[in-house]
Structure formats: C-alpha cells, structure tokens
Amino acid sequence: MILDSLRAVLFDLDGTLLDTFDFIYGAFEHTFATHGIPPLDRDAISEHMGGPLPEVYATMAPGFDTAVLTETHRIFQLANIHLVSVFPQTIEVLESLKQRHLKIAAITTRSIRTSVRSLEQTGIAHYFDIIISAEDVIRVKPDPEPLLKALGSMGLKPEEAVMVGDTIADIQAGKNAGTKTVAALYGFGGERLLALEPDYAIRELRELVDILSVQSDRSV
C-alpha cells in the first residue's frame, strides 16, 4: 500500500529497533532482587511495560518507593549498555527509509542517560533526525506529547507520519497523536497489541518496508 502523504517514521526503540530483552528484563530482575521484591516472570513483566517507569513499578511493586526502584533500574542499565544490540534487520530497514528520503525519529520512554548511548553503541544514531527521551517531555507515551514534539521539530503533521512500536503505550500514543500505527509483534507486547487495532502489524521488522511502499523518488 502506498501512503502518499508519508514523510516520517517514528520508532520506539526497545523491542522495536533494539534487542533489549536482557537489558530491560535484567534491570527489572536486578531491582526486584536488590529491594527484596517478590520476582515476576518475564511474561508478567511484559504486560506492564511501555508507560512511565515509576508507574510501571507502582503496579508491579505496590508499597515500595517507586523513585528508588526507578533509580536502581536505571543504574543497572547505565552499567550494562553492552546488553543492547540491534535486531538483524534494523540497519537494513533504516537504510531503506533513508534512501527514500523519509525523516526518522526515535521516541522512547527510556531515560536520556542510556537512550542516546544505546544508539551510539549500536552504530545507528546517525539515522535519526531527532531523538525524544523521557526527560525531553512532561508526559511520556501513551500521551501524544513526545510524538507531537518530534513532528513539530521536523515541521510535519501527524497525518504525515507513522508510529512503529511494540507496546500498548506506543500504539495508543500513535492513535492519540493522529498518526498511522504499526504494531511490532516481535517485541515486548506481542500479540496482545492486535486488540488495539493498529493500522498495520508486523512480525519481523523487514515487513515495514513492504507496508510503507514509499516511492523511492519522494523528497521532503
């Protein structure tokens, strides 16, 4: 399908472009162990992911200081950036989008303390026209603010963009902002994202290129 108005692709990072399963789950598991919180298995953790980290911990560990848990989580991640890698198709897809003259934004709820470093370490930071992290906005996904801020900085409208992500918060943020949505079912959210009725769903990242089918001579 040709999306004639498409000028930008907004990507979530973790579980969408970056393989951060051990990086993310490991941070939760480390935090649980450090503070004596009964552990959850990874499937149970994935059901809570996507929103603001303090809120995630509030639902998983009621009664604990979410600020302390969040800081423990982020310190673990700062020390374990080596656990972040790209999915096998990530660079291929980003190259294809750049060749088609599309703007590319990274929109993550992760702290700026590790988000940019993750992109630099994996060698893909240069593909992005803008990176929006948790500290860059007042309200993170599923609120539309991060998406609208990225689009505004690029001089684009929501109807000119598609949001690609692997959590409920990603798809809700896209809908709230007025973009098209693509659910990455291979990530943390899995098949449960289909209940949100995204515009498209992919089971491997390469499928995104076929879905967009953007004319190669488009300029922005």
Contact 60, 45 (CB under 8 A): yes
Give the type of residue at 90. T
Please report where in the chains the tokens 């809908």 appear, as a residue.
175
Query: Which position among 12, 14, 143, 170 bears the catalytic label?
Result: 12
- Cis before residue 38, ω within 30 degrees of 0? no
Contact 31, 122 (CB under 8 A): no
- How many C-alpha atoms does 82 have within 13 Å on its Cβ side? 2
Contact 107, 146 (CB under 8 A): yes
Radius of gyration of the chain (CA): 17
12 annotated active-site? yes
Other CB atoms within 10 A of residue 127 CB: 18
Residues classed as catalytic: 12
